Structure 1
């Protein structure tokens, strides 16, 4: 079913808030998203979530839905799959004049949007976090980066991506639907998303990075690395990359090619690296395309998903050694940050994104996450500044306070 409403942005807030309240009251899982450059918001509610581990199946075998997979699956953080039995969409462009309200909204038709927003905020305020997470101090992060550089210089690693958290108070006037719509407007090229289940808690984010996409016979993935602030009227023209950033991006690209080699796939198209804008930041990006029909590899999406995650862009190289370093040195649980999320088999397309530029909401708090790719040429202070920039991509819209 498609619900379109175009009179005011406030009406969109009311529709989104209504569905969140419906999910909360029914103890159901909900996922809301807007794909990059898309003109509609999509929403699904699953009142019968039995998805622990279900997302580990072959992608082609899954019914239409939304997948949320943690950085590392555990007894505390399981993969979840929100099925699309109850689907709605909201047009953002205003191309239609259709104010029909479905049964999903009828019970909230006479409820003020502010009342719905308050109910959502109160629910978030009382929700308990499953992650033992606090703000990462600058001193602790710099120490981790220094250890990472030493490990790379000793030959144990090529690259590693330590992360940090920044915990702030949930504002008293926090409005989830309003923040979501603001992110849609601010970041047209990002995957804007918000999802909730009893297993995951609330997450909201604007990811710039596609992990895999399959549509018809086409497979796509990307290598995204290197970060700097977008400056001037034409930031793409003004971009100047250091050797450290170029090498960091090359390592991510090499990781993808190595995954292709593992499955003896030689027929692929590589485009880039080129500079791309994502949420006020510039990155280096390479794109990889495969014709699954020509290569006789119809299950490539599932195979590459298993090989790619966690990519060198969020973990490091070699993967096993980088993971071991992170487990030893990071003082917090990443949970669903740097995992992967996205719609599966919706309109005959699957697109999974790395869960970056995201925040977790619980217990009157907001947890912001950010990581930095460390190579031999990294400067610890600059890596800290990069993580601050990344936290601010989402944090500025959540009314952050130090």
Structure 2
């Protein structure tokens, strides 16, 4: 009854090691319940300690800079809405690329975990779970799902190469790409002429990826797919470890989503009745969408493929997933299971059991493609879309 049980976080994952074992003393009694002697005794076993890979100095920087970045973002106008960015949540993951060990993990909004010590009050719990609190109990590093945007282009660049588009061939980068009556534009509506996939990564040219994904969608049969479509762009995302949990030693991680054909069909099956009930051919915009989905909601459409190519549409990832992807690119291509627990040390300090890093797979690219992508990513910071942010960075000393 007096045991403290790990309910969340590392305390839950390593509860068995942390809790130890209660001691038991057995007494002999007579038929009236009076103690007449002492029997066997099982000694108590104190709980072990968990050594983590978290560096408190880096953790402090991560928390401070995340908070500062959110404050600054709220001062910036969003051209799409005409309002300033809300910037009401965010996360940071810092990872050792060669092991997958997490050096720092920050989630904002945050809270003081001491609120749970001794039992949380109803008032404090209500404050942490109220909608106005923006749910600080959510660890957005492993539970926050969002469309990845341009950081996803390392996946589609790899998919394009594997589908037969040479990395250093030149591909058109116009300011926009049109399909029927729909026009998809570059983020800044700027064209760059004919460029390589590497340069498309550096300047984040959306239209290069639109065209490559559209061509592959058409090769696979378009709206009426072949029996066994190649689905290079979708398959490659799965091979990068997306669409499933990384396996980090924290509970309640979410898997994200790769919107492949199976997901399309499952989503359609779950929503078809509601779409068909609410849809109207000549109704409001929402009713028209429901009407269309009732009839075609299970189809992987051209617009789906185009949006997917730049990490938009129905794609969802978590920060820990993308940290794992970029760590793998940095270390030469090995995916690791992220971890925070580094070792289990007995209470007396005499026994140390290392929690060894675990490899979970290899990126679907050869060494040449890996090197090409790595070089292009460096170019993002020196001569590409992030150069404005990295002005003055000592690239030669700290690449």
Higher relative contact order (CA 8 A, sep 6+): 1
Structure with greater strand share of residues: 1
Give the TM-score category using the shorter length.
Answer: under 0.3
Q: What's the TM-score once normalised by structure 1's chain length?
A: 0.26
Structure with greater helix share of residues: 2
Q: What's the TM-score once normalised by structure 2's chain length?
A: 0.26
